[in-house]
Every structure is written in structure tokens, then in C-alpha cells.
């Protein structure tokens, strides 16, 4: 089967790329699992924060915000963003990290602002005031309907005449005669352009193609649900986070979603929550709040895959024509999906990314040729 663009990976970044590429030719999206977005997209915390990540990530997030706030007509019948906000707490000894987060938060459309400790109960009444030294609110943060966004992209691919195939793991990938040949259990597919959106398997896919890996690391992130204390309605509470990233919690379907904000390196695969991570987060939660965790309702874990500098890898491979990287999106994938999908499409068709207001330079795969990347993640 011959197509114009072959996208490998059915998570939200691959779906976004396929959606944008479908305006320029025939798209085929291949997903190795039976369920699309199984390992990362489907296990997302479903949160959109302009305050999250370093400068390159925040630029992608700002670009994506406008699309998510006002999607194209007919794109989806559901609102994609819902106001939530973040209450960020500073425990003893974390004042420098708090200052850095407050400074970076000034760039958001609604800047972060410090509040006095005694105003914390206005936002969340279960926080122990004696646990905090300082606090800030980040009003621009929002919940995001991940499934609605993901499905809208997939519908768009199909509406443009593209195809989405599941259970189609690529077992061989080679370029012959200016065309990429991908072999799967469902047959062979040929395209002049391949987009590597394979998540935790992106380096492995590059290896199949004979290309150098960029050094991606799959990281486990755990979450679990607990009950809201009797007599309280958490519906309008913000996400509450520790600036040192030892826990966060947010309202979720009448309960509280809690995470230890773990980032444990793992082999690519179907990850499961670690009991110690869950127990540690429950202890931190009880220390910082008046909540008593009597029961874990449900626990799960997902994979977020990070580049060595924690900046997404988006662009043309320096060692293979027609091979584009869309990987290393770490925990930012959902919120930057509109931007990286539009960017990968512009690069694939030879357009100028500046025309859509995006700078691909910080994201380029060739930045790893000297392996001297430095971390960009900011608290």
C-alpha cells in the first residue's frame, strides 16, 4: 500500500501529526496496540498548564492554547478546556524553587501570583497551613478533555480519506528508492515521509531504520484515586501541588486524583504502579493536608518518555531524508499536541514553520549530535 505520509504511533502527538498532514496528502497512522494511546495519552492527568516546563515547552503550550480554547468549526462538540487553576505550596527549605516558579509563572496569560498563607483555605480547605511557608496560585491552568481532543484528531484523519490501523507493529523499516518501506503484521506500507511518533519505542523504531537514537528514557508516572473527606465538595478546588514535586492532587470524578510525581526510568512496556510510590504519596498527602487516606480506590501508571534535556524532539532526522522525529514529549504531550502536530506537518511539506509562528530550532533532533544537552525542566 502506498501513501504520502506514514505516521507510526497512535497517541495524541501522532494523531495530531496525522490530522495536520491529511491536508497535504494521504495519511496512514499505525498503532502497535489494539487501543490507541494506550501507554501515555490514555493515562494522562488531563491537565493543561502554561506554567509547566522550560521555555521551549511553554512556547508550544502558548501556541496550543489558542487552538484548544477556540477549536476549528466542527472539530469537536465538547469544550476542550475547563478552568481549574493550581495552588502551589512551598514547604520549608524550598524558597528558592518557589521564587523560580513564581518568576517563570509571570509569563503566562494570567500570571502566577503569591497569596498569603491564611488565604489558602479559600482555595482548598484541607491544606495544613503550618506545613507551608509560602503559596501561589496559577489561575490560567485548566483541565483538558484528552479523549475529546484525541478522537477529534482521529476523526479528522479519516474524514480526509486517511486510515488508522491498530495492532500494526512495525517490525522492519528501510528506505529504498527514495521511499520508506514499513513491514507490519498487516502488510507492507510505503511512503516518502515517515513520522516517528512511537513514544517509548521511538528510539527502537529509529534503530529499525538504521538511524542513531536520540537517547530517550521512558519514565513511569503513578496516579491513584482517594475519597474526598465527608461533608466537603471538591468540585471547584484547584490542583494542589508541592513546588518540590513530591505530590499533587486534583478533583477527578467526585474523588481526588493523587500522584507522587514519580519519574522512574523503565523499559518500554505496559507499566504498573509501584506500591511504595503509592504509599509514599499517601503519606505526603496526609502530612500536607488534613486528609486521612483510608482506601486507595484505584491506582495506575503510565509512561512519559523524555529526551536528555527534557525538550520535545520534533524535526527532520539529520541522518535520513524523509524521516521525522516526533518524540520525547515527556509529560507535555497532550498540552502541546496542537503545536507539534502543526509543526511536523509544516516541516514534512517543506513549509516555513515561522509562517505559523513556531520556532523549530530548540526542538531539532540534530541537537543531540554532540550529546551535550543540559536539562531544561524548571520547577
If pLDDT is split at 50, 70 and 90, which confidence band does 373 have?
very low
Q: What is the mean pLDDT of residues 342-367?
A: 94
- CB-based contact 258:248 (threshold 8 Å): yes
CATH code for residues 86-140+217-306: 3.30.9.10
Q: Is the pLDDT of residue 378 over 60?
A: no
If pLDDT is split at 50, 70 and 90, which confidence band does 114 have?
very high
Q: Cell numbers of 95, please?
A: 524558597
DSSP letter for 126, please: T
If pLDDT is split at 50, 70 and 90, which confidence band does 369 have?
confident
Q: What is the pLDDT of residue 354?
A: 87
**Residue 116's CB: how many other CB atoms inside 10 A?**
8
If pLDDT is split at 50, 70 and 90, which confidence band does 124 have?
very high
Q: Is the pLDDT of residue 295 over 90?
A: yes
pLDDT in tens, 156-187: 999 999 999 999 999 999 999 999 999 999 99
Q: What class has domain 5-67+145-215+308-368?
A: alpha beta
Residue with cell 512496556: 269
Q: What is the pLDDT of residue 374?
A: 36
Cα–Cα nearest to 142, from 98, 199, 81, 76: 81
Q: What is the pLDDT of residue 96?
A: 97
**Residue 158's CB: how many other CB atoms inside 10 A?**
15
Q: Indicate the domain borders of the chain.
A: 5-67+145-215+308-368, 86-140+217-306
**Rounded mean pLDDT of the chain?**
94
pLDDT in tens, 188-212: 999 999 999 999 999 999 999 999 9
DSSP letter for 353, please: G
pLDDT in tens, 302-351: 999 999 999 999 999 998 999 999 999 998 999 999 999 999 999 999 99
- Expressed in angstroms, the distance from the first to the final Cα of the chain is 47
Residues 6+ apart with CB under 8 A from 268: 199, 200, 201, 204, 218, 303, 305
Distance of CA 115 to the CA centre of its chain: 29
% pLDDT > 70, the chain: 97
If pLDDT is split at 50, 70 and 90, which confidence band does 370 have?
low
Say what the pTM is: 0.94
Amino acid at each position: 500500500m502506498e501513501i504520502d505520509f506514514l505516521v507510526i504511533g497512535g497517541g495524541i502527538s501522532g494523531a495530531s501529526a496525522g490530522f495536520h498532514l491529511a491536508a497535504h496528502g494521504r495519511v496512514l497512522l499505525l498503532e502497535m496496540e489494539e487501543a490507541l494511546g494506550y501507554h501515555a495519552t490514555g493515562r494522562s492527568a488531563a491537565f493543561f498548564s502554561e506554567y509547566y516546563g522550560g521555555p521551549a515547552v511553554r512556547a508550544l503550550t502558548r501556541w496550543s492554547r489558542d487552538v484548544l480554547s477556540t477549536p476549528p468549526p466542527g472539530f469537536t462538540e465538547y469544550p476542550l478546556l475547563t478552568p481549574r487553576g493550581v495552588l502551589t505550596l512551598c514547604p520549608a527549605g524550598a524558597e528558592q524553587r518557589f521564587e523560580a516558579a513564581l518568576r517563570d509563572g509571570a509569563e503566562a496569560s494570567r500570571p502566577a501570583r503569591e497569596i498569603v498563607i491564611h488565604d489558602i483555605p479559600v482555595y482548598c480547605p484541607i491544606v495544613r497551613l503550618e506545613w507551608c511557608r509560602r503559596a501561589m496560585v496559577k489561575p490560567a491552568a485548566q483541565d483538558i478533555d484528552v479523549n475529546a481532543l484525541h478522537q477529534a484528531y482521529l476523526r479528522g484523519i479519516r474524514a480526509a480519506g486517511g486510515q488508522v490501523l491498530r495492532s500494526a507493529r512495525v517490525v522492519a523499516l528501510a528506505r529504498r528508492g527514495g521511499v520508506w518501506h514499513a513491514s507490519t503484521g498487516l502488510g507492507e506500507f510505503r511512503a516518502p515521509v515517515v513520522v516517528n511518533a512511537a513514544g517509548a519505542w521511538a528510539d527502537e523504531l529509529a534503530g529499525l531504520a538504521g538511524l542513531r537514537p536520540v537517547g530517550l528514557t521512558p519514565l513511569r508516572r503513578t496516579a491513584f484515586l482517594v475519597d474526598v473527606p465527608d461533608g466537603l465538595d471538591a468540585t471547584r478546588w484547584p490542583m494542589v501541588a508541592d513546588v518540590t514535586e513530591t505530590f499533587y492532587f486534583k478533583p477527578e470524578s467526585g474523588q481526588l486524583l493523587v500522584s507522587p510525581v514519580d519519574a522512574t526510568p523503565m523499559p518500554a512496556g505496559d507499566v504498573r504502579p509501584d506500591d511504595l510510590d503509592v504509599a509514599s504519596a499517601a503519606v505526603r498527602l496526609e502530612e500536607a493536608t488534613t486528609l486521612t487516606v483510608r482506601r486507595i480506590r484505584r491506582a495506575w501508571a503510565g509512561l512519559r518518555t523524555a529526551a536528555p534535556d527534557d525538550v520535545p524532539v520534533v524535526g527532520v532526522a539529520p541522518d535520513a531524508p524523509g524521516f521525522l522525529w516526533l518524540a520525547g514529549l515527556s509529560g507535555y504531550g497532550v498540552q502541546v499536541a496542537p503545536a507539534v502536530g502543526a509543526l511536523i506537518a509544516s516541516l514534512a511539506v517543506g513549509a516555513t514553520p515561522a509562517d505559523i509562528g513556531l520556532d523549530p530550532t530548540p526542538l531539532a533532533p540534530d541537537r543531540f549530535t554532540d550529546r551535550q544537552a543540559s536539562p531544561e525542566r524548571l520547577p
